[in-house]
Chains A and B, each alone.
Chain A
Amino acid sequence: MARTASAAPRARGHGVITLAILGALLAATGTPDVETLQSVTDAGIPEPVARIGMYVLPVVAIVLAMVIGQALGKGRSVNVRWLIYGVLGAFAGFFLGLCLDLFAAVPGLIALVSGPLAEPGIIEIILWSLGALCIAMGVMVGLIGLFGRPAVAAFQIEEADPECAEVRKSERSIFTLSGFAMVTLGIACCALAVARQAEEAQRVLPVAIAFVSALLSVWPNYTLWRRFDEMQRRHVVDGYAVSAIVVTLGGFVWAGLQAIGQVPPIDAAGVFVTLIFVQIVATSWVTSSVMGTTTLFGKPA
């Protein structure tokens, strides 16, 4: 029997438990930060205890951030609640970064393919960050596509209307395609960062990986566009319209400042990361404005 949204009971998700598991998995990829470990042992804490603490405490901080966020946000508007989550989550993330050097094995694995990498500059750091963000979000969205409602319940931090938690078969394929598109974009960004940091003779392979990933992402994006209905297409178009305005204005201001020597020249990679970043922010803003989860900055264009 079909039901209406208003008649349905609200369902509790398992977001905090999921975050704890993801946080523990993330911590497991890291090694204790040398400087922080030194400071802690200098304070008189035995090294084995300090090492264990630097793995355990960040996970506790992540869980606490969410639990405190839920308590502080109770009865407040959606914007205020997610602002609280964002601020507390940033503190937990900072603490995690202070304690552990995450993905410690990755540089070694990349070095096997591309040789030793130079220190990353600002563009490479942004490429790595964007790539990691896209891959993480892509995996999350992909899991929703593969497992449907159980995955939504697992990621849900707050109580949700069951009708919103429901993921139909047709929607699951959209989530799967979106996840694939984001992961391939993420891989392309990371491969581009590797290419820029590798020695000149070792750059062809990472560039090839970046190009293949970018080409692979065309297929899910095209398929998604074909399957989107009118509102979803409008989200995409609005997102790109906002991006175009922001990047054009930003580019104009940058060009002016560059002419008087106030900012450095920007290369193609700089333009690319700026575009991708602005598009992600703009599309998320437009989409969430229409879906009613973000109204903090007003209405989309």
Chain B
Amino acid sequence: MKNRLRVLRAERAWSQADLADKLGASRQTVNAIETGRYDPSLPLAFKIARLFGLHIEEIFFDEAAEAAAE
């Protein structure tokens, strides 16, 4: 699953550590989500969405579903 987390974080000039602190997660987890190596749980995805004031689907993209729709 792809996401815009790195872009959203960069727009706010936050480091991965800053974002990790705000989410109550580890920096390694933020890094793994950004690089697409780890898909967060629903509670964490909602937390991320709330933090950026966006809907989950505005941050995370299901590439397989999008490809199927096309």
Contacts and interface: CB of A to CB of B under 8 A. Distances in A.
B9 interface: yes
Interface stretch (A2-10, A36-44, A129-137, A151-159): A2-10
Nearest to B43: A230
A261 interface: no
A5 B6 CA distance: 9
Contacts of A5: 15-16
A231 interface: yes
* Size bin of chain B's contact surface: 20 to 34
Contacts of A6: 6, 10
Contact of B27 (A168, A230, A290, A292): A168
Contacts of A171: 26-27
A29 interface: no
Interface centre among B14, B24, B37, B40 (most CB of A within 10 A): B37
Contacts of A231: 25-26, 28-29, 32, 38, 40
Contacts of A232: 26, 28-29
A5 B31 CA distance: 10
Given A5-B15, A6-B10, A232-B29, A290 B38 contact: yes
A163 B10 contact: no
Contacts of B13: 1-4
A294 to B, nearest CB: 11
Interface string A143-169: 000000000000000000001101010
Given A4-B9, A230-B40, A291 B15 contact: no
Contacts of B35: 292
A200 interface: no
A234 B14 CA distance: 26
Interface of B: 6, 9-10, 13-18, 24-29, 31-32, 35, 37-38, 40-41, 44
Interface of A: 1-6, 163-164, 166, 168, 171, 228-232, 234, 289-292
8 contacts: A2-B14, A5-B16, A6-B6, A164-B31, A171-B26, A171-B27, A230-B29, A231-B29
Given A163-B16, A230-B29, A231-B25, 7 more contacts: A2-B15, A2-B18, A163-B15, A166-B17, A168-B17, A229-B26, A291-B31
